[in-house]
Amino acid sequence: MSLLEVDGLEVYYETEDGPAKAVDDVSFTLEEGENLGIVGESGCGKTTLAKAIIGILPDAGYVNGGSIEFKGDDLTTMTGEQRRRLKWEEISMIAQSAMNSLNPVYTIREQIVEAIETHRPGTGRVESTEIVTEMFELVGLDPDRADDYPHQFSGGMRQRAMIAMALALEPSLILADEPTTALDVIMQDQILKRISQIQDEVNSSMLVITHDVSVVAETCDRVLVMYAGKVAEIGPVDEIFNQPYHPYTIGLKRAFPNIRKTDQDLLSIKGYPPELVDPPEGCRFAERCPLATEKCRHEEPEAHFNNGLRSYCHYADDIDTELRPVADSPMTWEQTAAAQQTGGD
Ligand SMILES: Nc1ncnc2c1ncn2[C@@H]1O[C@H](COP(=O)(O)OP(=O)(O)OP(=O)(O)O)[C@@H](O)[C@H]1O
Ligand SMILES: [Mg+2]
């Protein structure tokens, strides 16, 4: 049994224009001790996916289908009380906006101690205080500042406090949403090292949402590439970076500063992701894809399996046999850009 099994998950937001499908038929598994990176452009549903898993969707958001099994139990059918018990102890989240996740009316120490005492009844005040000190030192915060309120911290300090809190109970699953973006490189390295140490000790797993390709390369075993609420492609980190089968990943890869080839052009994919309220039929990526055909604009792609990757592109199986040179060529992506520019005029 996998630690986490997400199957056909759909998450909607109620908006003025109707329901927006922020997560659309997403399926993946996460094994014990495994790290899965989640990448994709802004607005593709990464944070929504993490919030649905830990159960903190805002009022406008709701799970509309599918299941999220954690250690064999479906989180989507649990009561609020059952889910609260899992939070921090079993599943914790390092949130993208730390201010919203810390309670403004309690000091940081009160919040961490409360989490410890709720989940580990019998832990004495002295021991809880020791954990707070240890966690503060770990994330590079002065333990004397633990009695401050969240608003007295800077953005970076709040993010560190958030990380301290998320790691305090050594959870089985850590959802890390841009965990280190507000931190400098040295601190980022230290925190990632500590997270992997904790992972070794308790065999916890992590979902790592990040725009930072080097973080994915260093910490993740597999990567899920999301596009407009859907899985575009998922597979082992090396294959995703070196030999992807989905044109979106191939295009996205070109935007990544390649760690090995520093002279590579930083080219991003032209255009924007589609609306989520009334998405186009067929493949969501078709209008930006240089390889798209009529079929792509009408038929939604099924999963294709190649070399350990699951790719949702009609032509994934043709990438190795004929299309890779075209998909890899800078010309291909420049031409779409040019075509779109003339088309838009
Ligand atoms: N409270 C909300 N109400 C309505 N729509 C929302 C709400 N929160 C998010 N959305 C929409 O859901 C989609 C997915 O948002 P989400 O925050 O999950 O994206 P993301 O991939 O985390 O983006 P980023 O990389 O910018 O953090 C977006 O189109 C966003 O506008
Ligand atoms: Mg986000």
Q: Which residues contact 148 (CB under 8 A, 6 or more apart)?
A: 107, 108
- Which CA distances in Å does 327 have to 77, 198, 246, 296? 43, 40, 9, 16
Which of 168, 184, 199 finishes a domain? 168
56, part of any domain: no
Among protein residues, the one with the nearest Cα to ligand 1's atom 25 is 42
Residues 248 and 339 reside in one and the same domain = yes
Helix (H) or strand (E) holding 164: helix 155-168
Residues 67 and 8: beta-carbon distance below 8 Å: yes
C-alpha of residue 136 to centroid of ligand 2, in Å: 25
60, part of any domain: no
Number of domains in the chain: 2
pLDDT tens digits, 178-194: 887 767 777 777 778 87
pLDDT of residue 258: 56
Among protein residues, the one with the nearest Cα to ligand 1's atom 6 is 13
Helix (H) or strand (E) holding 63: strand 61-70
The closest of 171, 253, 182, 154 to 207, measured between CA atoms, is 171
Mean pLDDT, residues 210-229? 90
Residues 250 and 338 reside in one and the same domain = yes
User: Which of 15, 26, 46, 225 maximizes ligand 1 atoms within 8 Å of its Cβ, making it the mutation to test the pocket?
Assistant: 46
- Percent of the chain at pLDDT exceeding 90: 58
User: Which of 48, 101, 226 maximizes ligand 1 atoms within 8 Å of its Cβ, making it the mutation to test the pocket?
Assistant: 48
C-alpha of residue 43 to centroid of ligand 2, in Å: 7
Distance CA 244, CA 237 (A): 10
207, part of any domain: no
Q: Is 21 in the pocket of ligand 1 (CB under 6 A)?
A: no
275, part of any domain: yes
Distance CA 264, CA 258 (A): 7
Residues 105 and 145: beta-carbon distance below 8 Å: no
233, part of any domain: no
Domain that residue 280 falls in:
244-344
Distance CA 266, CA 254 (A): 6
The dihedral over CA atoms of 7, 13, 14, 15, expressed in degrees to the nearest 10, equals -140
Quick check: 209 pLDDT over 60? yes
For 336, what's the count of Cα atoms within 13 Å in the CB-facing half-sphere?
22
Q: Name the residues around ion ligand 2, CB cutoff 5 A.
A: 46-47, 96
Rg (CA), the chain: 21
54, part of any domain: no
Which of 151, 168, 185 finishes a domain? 168
Distance CA 333, CA 327 (A): 8
40, part of any domain: no
The closest of 55, 63, 54, 57 to 26, measured between CA atoms, is 63
47, part of any domain: no
Residues 205 and 174: beta-carbon distance below 8 Å: yes
Which of 128, 152, 168 finishes a domain? 168
Quick check: 67 pLDDT over 80? yes
Quick check: 132 pLDDT over 90? yes
pLDDT of residue 313: 98
